[in-house]
Structure 1
Amino acid sequence: MLTPQDINSVDDAKRIVSERNLSHVKIGLFDIDGVMRGKYLRKEKFFAALDKGLAFCDVVLGWDSSDQLYEGVGVEYTGWHTGYPDAPVRVLPGSCRDIPFEPGMLLFLCEFAGDAAALCPRNVLARTLERAADMGYTTHAAFEYEFFLFNETPHSVRQKNYQNLQPITPGFFGYSMLRNSVHAELYQELLDMSEAMGFPIEGLHTETGPGVIEAALVVDKAGNAADKAALFKTFTKVWAQRRDLMATFMAKWSNDYPGQSGHIHVSLRHKDDGRSAFFDPDQPLTMSDTQRHFIGGQQRYMPELLAMVASTVNAYTRLVPGFWAPTDATWGCENRTTALRLIPGSDSSQRVEYRVGPADANPYLALSAALASGLAGIAEGLEPEPMVEGNAYDQTHPGHLALPQSLSDATAIFKHSRTARSLFGDAFVDHFAASRQWEASEHRKHVSDWELQRYFEII
């Protein structure tokens, strides 16, 4: 009997479905915001899709995370003017996974094909990985996420208007053995699900704040790592809601607590012999010339590509001094106040941590930005600015390292970036920039609680 780990081809996929005598399977793909969209397919339809492909309405690339259509922002690929036709999609047999809470059911990932591939986040990353391969590198990555867990349901949070929510645990209990032992069954369920679904967790612990947890996923080849990160976020939320809990990956849900990060650890290895491209025992900090240029590129282009990483209005509430998130494109060695953290080690562990990312980022796009900027640094031989030592928040940095302070500003910089267009193509830059303009304009239409409290009576 085949297992999901054995599936590498169309024939394998058909065989495992037949062996399990399944009438239907589940398929899914990820949209611009990293939201998983999918459906059940009857066995015969799925087999035909494996052979010939299938189609999703291209509105999946033309609406926001609340299913509102991008209108009035210049989206050309899809819209009322095109009639919202179907876009071609291909099934990825090697992505086969069990779904533990649907016994016997199988999940397969998909990605857009044809013209839609230019906009598809998974394909954006695939093209970046091809660039790395052309330069002689294999790429590896690992994501780590912070998320808050609440004793709430989708109904209760709406009834409360998202106010006065009850975290699963009170107080500040970072790395708490007390908390993870009291709730051991929940932790074990999450660990077991992650193993069963093929996105194993390397480390799981409480963070500082009520109900906040951090999960570090196991390192893998970069494409697989992004799939695992996207699935982890989706099915952690599913797991929680099935237990009348809610998990949020918002960048910052409360003014009272630090934001939630989505850090990415990145490394390169030589294709020809498998050696680390970042490790050089004869250099200071064991940092090779290649890694130095990689960091130089990440640093140089971080402000221009920030919209791909901090892609929501809320993400910019996290990027403030003193809250464990960077405000400038700085780098340091084992320094968690900088945007880029060099982690020296060995051939197997030398890497850089891309710390600017929030938990709400689309994993495919955030990793694309982190990798593509570094690869550009290697290609251009870029040198990083002097390394920051000590508290980066207390120091003054060159003006060109300042990160945009809002989604609107970041989007404008991204849209006009020649580097972004060179790395990701005009079609993606134009479409993604329009989608972020829409996101920012939707925010401007609404009156916040802060505005009411500040202005309602006194002005």
Structure 2
Amino acid sequence: MVKAREVTSAREARAIVEERGLSHVKVGLFDIDGVMRGKYMSRAKFLSSLEKGFSFCDVVLGWDVKDQLYDNSRYTGWHTGYPDAPVRIVPQSCRDIPFEDDMLLFIAEFAGRAQALCPRAVLRRVVERCRTLGFDPYAALEYEFFLFDESPESVRKKGFRHLKPFTPDVFGYSMLRNSVHGELYREILDLGEGMDFPLEGLHTETGPGVLEAAIAVDDAEAAGDKAALFKTFIKVLAQRMGLMATFMSRWSGEYPGQSGHIHLSLRNRDSGDSAFFDADQPDGISRTMRQFIAGQQRLMPQFLALIAPTVNSYRRLVPGFWAPTGANWGVENRTTALRAIPGGDQSQRIEYRLGAADANPYLALAAALGSGLYGITQQWSPSEPISGNAYALKLDQGQTLPGTLWESTQQFKQSDAARELFGSDFVAHFAAGREWEEREYRRHVSDWELERYFEII
């Protein structure tokens, strides 16, 4: 009998569906914002699509997280009539859905012209570039997320205010919390094992109801799938248990934001050893690793829109809340945007600490990996590593990060490196979506403005 995570081909995908006697299969793909969109597909349609692909309305590439249509997209819109776009099923993405009996889930991705805009395909192209340069990339993402004792109905009834966190007060690394609520933790751990995004660690963070989960390392392309599925199905699991999870970058002004740190390493394809480790260099940091850091550092302001893609993202990037505020780096320094982690041949790596929980995992990973590779090809050198509190130091020229979504989007639009790495069509489309997002924000009047200006001004 074929097991879900042993499927590697269309033939094996067909076999597992037929062995289970499934009448329908669940198929999903990820949009620009990293939201999984999908449907149940009849067995006959699914089996046909394994060989020939199928069509999916391209509107999912032309709307925002609230299903509002972009008014500035060249690729799709009212001017194109929102036609279907070709989609291919990825057989090796087959997974069991633990709470749906024998139901199977397959990831799909856009093909044809739409492939240029597909987030999963963007990451795959960067991974292919990495392999062409002689390296195999490995990655692991870790996420912070808040849990609330709320439902989709209750949060709307409350206007998303005065929400009840799953647990009270601040209590990082709490053995009390994870023991009292052991059933929930067990469900999360089992979900990760069952859907192949296994967790190396799961613990409370500092804040009411906030958890941090570290997904196990894998090759970069698979790591993107694992992270995207983790974010989707943690929210599913929470709601099934009468809770709600949010990966919003910062939901409250009283607490730190939610990170989505990215750990990256390269291994030489010819020898299999670490491209980042050199025993003869300080902290074991090889020349390749230094160039990789330099690329990440220099392109960080240009690529910030991929890492911080929402208006809310910039609420997190402020001093004193454990989020980086400049394009800098240090060795084992958690106040910098890039943390070099010495670890010998097996675990020498870089932690891209700028990453936030609200980013599309495929695009955040493509930005972190692609910028490092660009530094290697350009043979760049990084600044001197920072020791001590990076927040207290004046930023050098070129290390200042854009302060708003609009500013970061303009830098992304003008980036030659972005067009080379991700393609001109993707850069134009993604930038249009971010400009739309910022304009939607400016159309609305906030409670802060009313409280501040209504009577006094």
Q: Is TM more than 0.5 here?
A: yes
Distance 1:307 1:37 in 2: 22
Q: Return the TM-score normalized by structure 2.
A: 0.99
Describe the SS at the equivalent of 1:337.
coil
2:356 is matched with 358
Which ranges in structure 2 are unaligned for 5 or more consecutive residues?
none
1:270 is matched with 268
User: What letter is aligned with 1:337?
Assistant: T
User: What letter is aligned with 2:301?
Assistant: P
2:384 is matched with 386
Deviation at 1:449, TM superposition (A): 1.5
Distance 1:407 1:283 in 2: 39
Equivalent position to 1:101, from 99, 102, 116: 99
2:17 is matched with 17
Q: Return the TM-score normalized by structure 1.
A: 0.99
2:231 is matched with 233
Distance 2:6 2:296 in 1: 37
Distance 1:398 1:325 in 2: 18
Deviation at 1:456, TM superposition (A): 1.7
Describe the SS at the equivalent of 1:123.
helix
Structure 1 residue 46 corresponds to structure 2 residue 46: yes
2:332 is matched with 334
2:165 is matched with 167
1:283 is matched with 281
Distance 1:399 1:292 in 2: 19
Distance 1:428 1:381 in 2: 26
Deviation at 1:452, TM superposition (A): 1.5
Equivalent position to 2:76, from 58, 78, 81: 78
Distance 1:388 1:453 in 2: 41
Distance 1:11 1:416 in 2: 44
Deviation at 1:281, TM superposition (A): 0.8
User: What letter is aligned with 2:391?
Assistant: Y
2:367 is matched with 369
Distance 2:43 2:95 in 1: 16
User: What letter is aligned with 1:61?
Assistant: L
User: What letter is aligned with 2:13?
Assistant: A
2:67 is matched with 67
Deviation at 1:408, TM superposition (A): 0.3
2:203 is matched with 205
- TM alignment of 1:176-255, pairs within 5 A: 176-255=174-253
Identify which range, 393-402 or 436-445, moves more after superposition: 393-402
**For 1:176-209, what per-residue CA distance to the aligned partner results, in whole angstroms no more than 9, with x for missing partners?**
0000000000000110011001100110000000
Distance 2:105 2:77 in 1: 29
Distance 1:33 1:5 in 2: 26
1:445 is matched with 443
Structure 1 residue 33 corresponds to structure 2 residue 33: yes
Deviation at 1:98, TM superposition (A): 0.2
Deviation at 1:453, TM superposition (A): 1.6
1:6 is matched with 6
Deviation at 1:399, TM superposition (A): 2.8
User: What letter is aligned with 1:450?
Assistant: W
User: What letter is aligned with 2:69?
Assistant: L
Distance 2:21 2:51 in 1: 19
- TM alignment of 1:311-326, pairs within 5 A: 311-326=309-324
User: What letter is aligned with 1:185?
Assistant: E
**Alpha carbon RMSD of aligned pairs, Å?**
0.6
User: What letter is aligned with 1:323?
Assistant: F
- The runs of 4+ residues in structure 1 deviating greater than 2 Å are none
Distance 2:404 2:423 in 1: 23
**For 1:376-428, what per-residue CA distance to the aligned partner results, in whole angstroms no more than 9, with x for missing partners?**
00001100011111000000011311000000000011101111111111100
Which ranges in structure 1 are unaligned for 5 or more consecutive residues?
none
2:455 is matched with 457
1:302 is matched with 300
